[in-house]
Amino acid sequence: MDSLLKHMVDMTGHRDHTMLDISVISAVQELAGAAQTRVLALTRLRGQVFVRARAVISAGGPARMEEHSDSAAPGEPLECYPALAACIAGHQASADTVCDDGRHMLWLPIWIGDKADTCLEITNPTPYSGATIQIVGGIVSVYRNFQNLLDYSERDSLTGLLNRKTFDDQLAKVLQSGGDYEAATPPGERERRQPPQTEKQWLAVVDVDHFKLVNDKFGHLYGDEVLILIANLMQSSFRAQDRIFRFGGEEFVVLLRSSTLADAHKIIDRFRINVETHDFPQVGRITVSVGFVSLNAAEAPVIILGRADQALYYAKSHGRNLACHYDELVETGQLHAVASNDTAEFF
């Protein structure tokens, strides 16, 4: 009982979705004695649902955010998990199956209203008793309720992405921690998993090209649908450990964790191409422009945002549908910084 209460306090003490994911799988892993527990993200893209692991913990190991070899892939189709697909289709509370190797898998979708964007997956060599399932169900209920509260305060009501206030808070935390975006990693493991020196944290500003024309020609309802579909494309294009925000209007911001410049270019450009090739109902083709910059903990947020905005402005003024890196523009002489101070940068 003391262990259960400790985990409940830990789960409800966070104001961050990543830490909440880490807390819930840590609680389930200990209290259920599972071989492995994962948080799965359920993403909808072009009418199809994809499954991608967001956080994982295995017996004897620490909880961590899941890494993916193909960071731009949306994940596996839900059809690859027949029992889970039937559970989602039937709006059921749980589903279980026995794998070919004899392992028992239990899925617990996190229903918020009639929609489930998250699911817990618990793997164990033997089936669970009714008492254990009851304990896990209680943990899932607390997780769902607290996730709902966080969503209400942290997310944009139209797109479901994190909102501007949450971005301000999280950018400040990243900079205060010296640019370490692995805040969800337990302290002992965090030191062991320091990223290579070539890896950095990145901030990208995304703007929908000619969005005013969409609203003027098709109306605000179709404009809102474009924003929702772009938000869906962002969630399926970027990695589970990256953070995506609606900054305001047709502008979005992404915080990319631990990537080289080449990887950042690849991830951002794949998202841009995903938008370019997507067929938006009634509207047709839409493109986005992106400006991005590496995070430097010694600089003020307004300086970092200003540089990303300048790279974005360059992309929009040079044909749009481009992804431009601030430092590359400066190094090649295409963008010139005249002066800077703690509050603004002039060009």
Q: If you search the block for the tokens 């947020």, which residue do you land on?
A: 301
* Active-site annotation holder among 199, 250, 331, 345: 250
Q: If you search the block for the tokens 């493991």, which residue do you land on?
A: 189
Please say whether the beta carbons of 164 and 247 come within 8 A. yes
CA distances 278 to 45, 169, 304, 325, Å, are 10, 32, 30, 24
The residue ranges of DSSP E strands in the chain, in sequence order, are 36-45, 48-58, 64-65, 76-77, 95-98, 104-112, 115-124, 200-208, 243-248, 251-259, 288-294, 323-325, 339-340, 345-346
182 among known catalytic residues: no
Within 8 A by CB and 6+ apart from 224, the residues are 158
The C-alpha atoms of residue 150 and residue 163 are separated, in whole angstroms, by: 11
User: Integer distance in angstroms from the first to the last C-alpha of the chain?
Assistant: 61
Please say whether the beta carbons of 108 and 93 come within 8 A. yes
Q: What residues act catalytically?
A: 250
